[in-house]
């Protein structure tokens, strides 16, 4: 990692994997034009993409997507914007008026953003959840990529298909709903949904029929994969320092996935490690989400290996 400012005379090439082409100048990363000459960056025509949420300081989306834009030699930048619940409406006007080229949406706005869009995809409509916003013929359109991203990440971590596996998912929010729908589509044998409110659990179960059912954390003893799709364990939230299930329910045969990645080692994952189970945090899901958003926004093949490289190089 480069530290401290670099003078113009000392400008140097900074290489991620081979797909990347960039130059460090001062404290900024500047991309090459097709001619490979360096231009001042950002410019008046640089496309701006963003993620909104609260909290947002921990977001790794700028790291992932700026690396992707650099690797693809696109004149674009990605930033994280803190938007509180009470400011979502005004922020949505700002997105339109400033010409934000594409938007990622994270907690707590995945449901409430829908009322500020022109339309949503069929998947987002079924889930009542949006995490990716794009422009189509002058309209702001919302999509949900949480579920497909989680399945892609899981299968990458497991190095095998999840078809035929039994899964317990903890949570009933937007991410949980998206994941359950995609798990059913991926051919898992059983989905056990655990939540605090029966009505909310029933709605999530409906998305995973016929293989989904309501359950309790005790069902962890009978599944192959445990997924935490809540914010329990996330730093700077009310759930910080807690795990969504008792540690004694985790066994070495389990694969445990926590969609939280801040901190990288959540209490749930620490319990999984102690039990000798395989585990992963939300970094993989985030990278696959970012890759899907990159393709939706740009039409370019996402440089997923570059994106994973820069995240893991930061110790995640």
> How crowded is the C-beta side of 208, counted as CA atoms within 13 Å?
31
* Residue 226 burial (CB count, 10 A): 28
Angle between helices 174-185 and 198-207 (to 10 degrees): 30
CA angle 114, 180, 261 (to 5 degrees): 80
174 touches 128 (CB < 8 A): yes
And the tokens for 61? 């989306």
Q: Is 110 a catalytic residue?
A: yes
- Tell me if the bond preceding 55 is cis, omega within 30° of 0: yes
The sheet with strand 166-170 has its strands ordered as 212-214, 190-194, 166-170, 225-228, 255-258, 278-280
Helices marked H in 20-165: 61-71, 88-98, 122-127, 146-158
292 touches 148 (CB < 8 A): yes
**104 alpha carbon, distance to own chain's centre:** 9
259 touches 279 (CB < 8 A): no
Q: Which entry of 8, 110, 165, 203 is annotated as an active-site residue?
A: 110
Antiparallel, parallel or unpaired: β 132-136 and 139-143: antiparallel
Q: Residue 19: which H helix or E strand, with range?
A: none
And the tokens for 38? 């360096």
Q: Which residues are catalytic?
A: 110
């Amino acid at each position: 990692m480069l530290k401290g400012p670099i003078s113009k005379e000392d400008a140097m090439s900074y290489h991620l994997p081979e797909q990347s082409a960039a130059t460090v100048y001062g404290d900024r990363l500047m991309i090459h034009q097709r001619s490979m000459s360096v231009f001042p960056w950002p410019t008046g025509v640089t496309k701006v993409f963003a993620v909104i949420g609260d909290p947002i300081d921990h977001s790794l989306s700028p790291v992932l997507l700026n690396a992707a834009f650099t690797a693809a030699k696109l004149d674009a930048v990605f930033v994280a914007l803190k938007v509180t619940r009470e400011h979502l409406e005004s922020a949505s006007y700002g997105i339109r008026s400033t010409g934000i080229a594409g938007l990622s949406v994270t907690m707590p706005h995945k449901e409430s953003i829908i009322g500020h869009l022109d339309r949503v995809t069929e998947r987002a409509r079924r889930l009542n959840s949006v995490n990716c916003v794009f422009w189509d013929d002058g309209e702001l359109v919302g999509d949900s990529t949480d579920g497909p991203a989680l399945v892609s990440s899981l299968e990458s971590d497991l190095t095998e298909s999840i078809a035929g596996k039994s899964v317990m998912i903890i949570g009933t929010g937007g991410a949980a709903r998206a994941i359950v729908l995609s798990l059913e589509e991926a051919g898992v044998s059983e989905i056990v949904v655990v939540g605090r409110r029966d009505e909310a659990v029933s709605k999530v179960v409906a998305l995973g029929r016929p293989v989904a059912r309501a359950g309790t954390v005790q069902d962890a003893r009978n599944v192959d994969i445990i997924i935490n799709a809540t914010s329990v364990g996330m730093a700077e939230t009310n759930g910080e320092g807690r795990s969504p299930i008792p540690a004694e329910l985790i066994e070495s045969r389990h694969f445990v996935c926590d969609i939280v990645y801040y901190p990288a080692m959540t209490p749930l994952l620490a319990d999984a490690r102690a039990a000798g189970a395989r585990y992963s945090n939300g970094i993989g899901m985030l990278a696959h989400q970012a890759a899907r958003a990159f393709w939706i926004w740009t039409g370019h093949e996402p440089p997923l290996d570059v994106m994973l490289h820069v995240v893991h190089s930061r110790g995640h």
